[in-house]
Amino acid sequence: MALLLLSLGLSLVSAQELNPRAIVRKSYDMAKVSGVWYSVSMASDDMKRIEENGDLRVFIRNIESLKDGGLRFHFLFMCVPPVSARTGEDGCPSLPHPVEREGRAAPWGRAWGAGRLPDITPAGFRVHGECVQVAMVCERTERDGEYAVSYEGDNKVFLLETDYKLYITFHLRNIRNGTDTNVLALYDTCFKYKK
């Protein structure tokens, strides 16, 4: 019985699709990054920012490589504008759609402390536990795998590692009011379930 379990375990290990030679840590082909991704795990040196209702807690749904080299992230966002930004009689947040894209502050940007929100388009909004659907564009910088976006401070997004088929890892560095916050995020394609 023990030999049967051992052989089954070895069979499963040897059947894995992960190929160490396919792991990319530089010279990224961003067109291969485009597609459906799912949030697996997040870690941060300031856990409050990624816990429930945290301003950096997001659930990725899609990553899109743009012609200008930028990345568009489509995600679900777990944050509600404060009461001062609400206008509805029922107390639900009232967000403009689409948010202004010319670099001007959104009407509720100051209430969230965001100031400028480049190319963010809420397709929905959170109402007592539901999520905001958002698309955010990160601009490419001169460094390979590095992107910049202004949200809740100045942010750099670094692509750390991917195999383009199963997983991708990002490092977000947020600087807000002189405080540096780092977030690591792992995303999966659930490729093994698609046949």
Model pLDDT for residues 19-55, shown as the tens digit of each residue: 666 888 888 898 999 999 988 889 999 999 988 778 8
pLDDT at 131: 66
pTM, entire model = 0.64
Cα–Cα–Cα angle for 43, 34, 20, rounded to 5 degrees: 65
For the chain, give the percent of residues with pLDDT over 90: 34
Give domain limits for the chain: 35-189
Query: If residue 170 lies in a helix (H) or strand (E), which one and from where to where?
Result: strand 167-176
| CATH no. of 35-189 | 2.40.128.20
Alpha-helical regions (H) of the chain: 2-14, 30-33, 109-112
